[in-house]
Structure 1
Amino acid sequence: MDLASTFSAIADALRAIPRSELLLAAVAAMVLGWIGAMVARRSAFGGVIRTVSSLALGVILLTVVLQLSRFDPRFDVAVPQIGLPEQVVSGGETRIPLSPDGHYWVRASVNGVEGNFMIDTGATLTAISAPLAEKAGLEPRRGGIPILLGTANGTVQAHVTTIDSLELGNIRASGTDAAVAESFGDFNVIGMNVLARLDEWRVKDGTLILVPKAEDAISE
């Protein structure tokens, strides 16, 4: 990634601040802390303001940590009260043949809207193109933070959304985190936040086999 791409990604993140309630809250808490520091020189009330500011920043930091923790499949963080539902993958075995381009493609539906997805074991998050996200009614997560993703074309800014229903073959997923960005074009990806919640996935004779966990399997 070159320096220009880095500066462009940082600029995009700064432009996203007005659209992120969490970032706005963090800025407001810091400003409140500065005000408290100035008032504290003249009044004890300034200490109260600084305490409130510190508590607010602590809550914001905890929320950010919870959101980022969900990107690692080893941590099944679920706090529905703040818009972080449990990510569940269930269903039956699904087989996907190798495509002529050397990738595994599957026709999947997002909230009932179909699209072509590439299975990518190198992708941390499932990624949805902006056109498909719009058709499926996906909105940026309330209170979510903009994220930077490394792609073949450099680093891009994306927002995180929640897919209520994701279906591919015999597999059904709910509460799935997904990244959405204009720069994805029409490209959609099934990432490790879905694959890691399977019992196993393997390749046999050129066919990708996805097997849900036994306790989640639903008889066909």
Structure 2
Amino acid sequence: MNKSLLLAGGASLLALAFPAAFQRASEAPPPEAPVEAAPALVEVASPAAAPGRSVRLQADGRGHFNAEARLNGRRETVLVDTGATFVAVNESAARRFGLSVSTADFRHRADTANGPIHVAMGRLDRVEIGLVSARNVEVMIARDEALSVTLLGMSFLNKLRRFEVEDGVLHLVE
């Protein structure tokens, strides 16, 4: 009897200290989804295929997700980067998207993979990939020499209903 009480008390303490471990252990694994053929670089799902508008992006050979996007109506090749807090563009791209920046605007500091840099902040009216779009998206603007590619970061992704990666395919759902 004492051993049972001691064991139950110990398990209760562990459950309080590490609830996520007990929650995960009690959940059944999700059923396996059928494997689909690899889609083209951008596949727009029909409205009947998924609720809401969605896009599927196939990873490239390095495992990166590149796409043709529209930022404020202008076409731009982007790299989807879940490690980037904001959509990030360089100052030349920002001007193409209708954002005006001056030297005084570069007063914010950002820590990047290449070290700290000074950036300006702005907002894009609309960011689109295929049928998936988001409005009023925060954008970080770097100097041209500090950023050579446009990054589609979390300020866009967090506006979506969901996004997930499975079997080398990034699925964006508006």
Structure-1-length-normalised TM-score: 0.51
Which has the larger Rg? Answer: 2
Report how many aligned residue pairs link the two structures: 121
The answer for the alignment partner of 1:181 in structure 2 is 142
Query: Among residues 143, 147, 156, which one is paired with 2:108 in the alignment?
Result: 147
Partner of 1:124: helix, strand, or coil?
A: coil
Contact residue 116 and residue 188 of structure 1 kept, 8 A: yes
CA distance in 1, matches of 2:121, 2:140: 5
Identity, % of aligned pairs? 29
Root-mean-square deviation (Å): 2.1
Equivalent AA in structure 2 for residue 197 of structure 1: K
Give the one of 149, 153, 162 matched to 1:200. Answer: 162
**Cα 1:188–1:102, aligned 2, differ >3 Å: closer, same or farther?**
same
Q: Secondary structure at the match of 1:165?
A: strand
Counterpart of 1:98 in structure 2 is 59
> Structure 1 regions of 5+ residues with no counterpart?
1-90, 213-220
Q: Which has the higher strand share?
A: 2
| Structure with more of its chain in helix, by fraction | 1
**Superposition misfits of 4+ residues, deviation over 6 angstroms:** none
Decide whether the 8 Å contact of 1:106 with 1:168 is kept in 2.
yes
Ranges in structure 2 where 5+ consecutive residues have no aligned partner = 1-51
- Following the alignment from structure 2 to structure 1, what is the Cα–Cα distance between the partners of residues 79 and 111? 17
* Partner of residue 138, structure 1: 99
Conservation of the 8 A alpha-carbon contact between 1:148 and 1:156? yes
CA contact (8 A) 2:89 2:147 kept: no
1:191 partner letter: G
TM-score (norm 2): 0.63
Deviation string for 1:160-213 (max 9, x for gaps)?
Answer: 01111211121112111101111333311111111122221111221000112x
Q: d(CA) in 2 for partners of 1:184 and 1:102?
A: 23
